[in-house]
Structure 1
């Protein structure tokens, strides 16, 4: 990346990084993780892991990026000797970003298809709700349509990033994020106004402590990495674009607060409506592609609300995808010394190839749907490998690097540059040097043990 690359404004950095962190993690993945893990129980553990692990690691990545003025590969080369094990974190970060994009593109493509369907009135008030399960199975297994949609999603992201940081990524996300919040408030208000919505709110926010176990902790920590964007190289790159006057701690807290608020708003859109229409058993991707269309078919004005919802998913998905792609492209561009657009084209080509296993195994009737790895399809295996293995290992290495080699004093000094308030204090020392590495390490070991 050029040494002159920099954010156009503080609000541009916050909105772009929040868009990257929010993404489909808050609106597509968070609700089905809530459904899988008992509602309020998962919410409680997720909030704790985000505060105790996500916040320090997110700040650490941005700090290291600003300190080195490089992406994660050259940044860690600058900070570590040759053959240092900490350098593995940089390659895992790029691999994680590519891995997420490879299956993320499939979801983006399916969302584009559903958005077009919503425009045509497929989910309008009075439509046959029984059709949505078979419709999802058909569309997710319709290879020609999905290939075109995935190609379109990758082409859109590539076109935006060709414009550069300020004119492309930053300008796009500065517009998308306020739109995202606006649509969420509208949909949440409508959902909360439904009869019986209070039961869904109660299920969503009231923790059932009997549901909290190792698997819930694993899922919560994995979702923290996915939702906050830890260990995928992007936060490191975004930090390298910051000036010395930037208040990293304050901005990081604002970004994570926005991310958490969007996730909670998404829950308030989905779960009150689910309980209002007695659709409490849905889980997985069905929440977005089967349950929500059924809800819209039951609502007066469902046509308009279905358009808003799937446009909301498009906004969040592309905001996150653009951030992931920028992190990978910028990191590899400076390592290879290639021109940016050439690197972008190469990365998109590789992602398109890597997306094929996820694409061919996603739907119930997809060509590779019968191929199983562990307890799930190739798509599930790819997602699990990235979020439960690559990202946690990378996060563990980064946390150990900050705690043992970079040092707390250097971390505190760099993080507090430009800060007039909201600073790293000495009370963070135990959290940074002991609590975070131990928490990530223990959860990672438990996850490996549980998968054996």
Structure 2
């Protein structure tokens, strides 16, 4: 493929991934985000370890992969944005309006995700410089940082990196970026896993993670596992529909779906073998919530030999996971703007990136400098809650209903044999929608377990 003309207008989906490997690595980069390293460990810790991980695998296979295949198929059939692909694939105009939810969702997600990406970059620098492990009150260190203007500085850096990648186009930017960073991420995962499982007392954490205790599983744990399986594959946020629009017709979407699912599972598994041995080795509660990464683990790194090095590598790993996901998120509204308003890629990337950064400011300020609350949540938590618990489940439900009931050429685009197509259609029609409605009701607090 020749060089990308970033000033060319109206060609939001005229580019293509140059290779199957590049597409799959980009899709894995989108799926493998902070959730598997930040959220997965503490929800696993809260729900009994290995039993929850096995439940997560079952949910990923039963619901996550069918919906992932549907999103990729809709994108390739429509060759449009996350909104227009529904219409171009054969749906009515109403589907385009419903699909616009999957354009709004990644925009909102990025407004707080760039902040967290900035935190990882900041902590990587702190660790490599020895400053992170110099103090003793790690909670106060994190509160002081998030309560200053520094998070905005680091968010700007993260946003700039992502914009510079996306502005280079699909094959010249996103594909090359992931071809370098995803293998690099795997190397870091293995290095940190070896360090973690060789710590004194680490085997207790390994046993917690790998020895299932099914007595601790509850209906609520099932919905949590299902929700995480869904969100860990970047479903419902338009990224996979958008990436599907740039896939060559010769690419097997079924094999790509399996590859992305396996990549996501491997990452989650190794993440568990990093987090749990480390937390148990240093007496840290693995169910200590989101603060596990930015408060509890820095304390652990400060107590181990060469902690500044391993801490730095850990936060570089988190930064890579965040940036590869952000790249896919930004491409969604960029594709929409190029197609809908005939913007050049340059203009679409810079205008949308600036808007994302500006909208992120209230979330950053609400962490300490200025109390910006909506109800019982600060602005940061509210945007996260609204995007993750409302927009994403609705976006995913729209995909399942369209592919399961209204899309006449689904079998042709998915490229499945008759047997597998029937199984896929059954999951999309009768299993995924019902379970996703339960996830939505639970995540929004409508459905509660006593």
TM-score (norm 2): 0.91
Partner of 2:6: none
2:83 is matched with which residue? 73
| Structure 2 runs not aligned, ≥5 long | 1-10
> How far has the Cα of 1:49 moved from its partner?
1.8
Q: Distance in 2 between matches of 1:450 and 1:357?
A: 30
- 1:423 shift after superposition: 8.6
Distance between the aligned counterparts of 2:330 and 2:211, measured in 1? 37
The structure 1 residue matched to 2:100, chosen from 91, 102, 106, is 91
2:264 counterpart (259, 275, 279): 259
Match of 2:214 in 1: 209
1:156 aligns with 2:158: no
1:55-81 residue CA offsets vs partner (Å, 9 max, x unmatched): 001110000111111122111222222
Q: What are the residue-to-residue correspondences of 1:2-401 with 2, within 5 Å?
A: 2=12, 4-78=14-88, 79-82=90-93, 84=94, 86-123=95-132, 127-128=134-135, 130-142=136-148, 144-280=149-285, 283-362=288-367, 365-368=368-371, 371=373, 373-374=375-376, 376-401=377-402
CA gap 1:114/1:329 in 2 versus in 1, 3 angstroms: same
Per-residue deviation, 1:332: 2.5
Q: Tell me the C-alpha RMSD between the 2 structures.
A: 2.2
* C-alpha distance in 2 between matches for 1:222 and 1:102: 21
Q: Does structure 1 conserve the Cα–Cα contact (< 8 Å) formed by 2:32 and 2:232?
A: yes
8 Å contact kept, 1:199–1:272? yes
The equivalent residue for 1:431 is: 427
Deviation at 1:326, TM superposition (A): 1.1
- Is contact 1:161–1:169 with CA below 8 Å preserved after alignment? yes
Deviates further, 281-290 or 241-250? 281-290
- Unaligned runs of at least 5 residues, structure 1: none
Q: Residue in 1 aligned with 2:437?
A: 441
CA separation of 1:3 and 1:163: change in aligned 2, threshold 3 A: closer
Q: What is the CA distance between 1:380 and its match in structure 2?
A: 2.1
Q: Is the 8 A contact 2:82 2:241 kept in 1?
A: yes
Alignment match, 1:411? 410
For 2:26 and 2:115, the matched residues in 1 are separated by 22
1:438 CA displacement: 1.8
Q: Cα offset for 1:169? A: 1.1
2:223–2:438 contact (8 Å) kept in structure 1:
no
Q: Which stretch has the larger CA shift, 88-97 or 35-44?
A: 35-44
TM-superposed deviation, 1:219: 2.7
Matched residue pairs, number?
437
Q: What is the rounded CA distance, in whole Å, between the counterparts of 1:22 and 1:336 in structure 2?
A: 31
Residues 71 and 138 (structure 1), Cα distance of their counterparts in 2 relative to 1, 3 Å cut: same
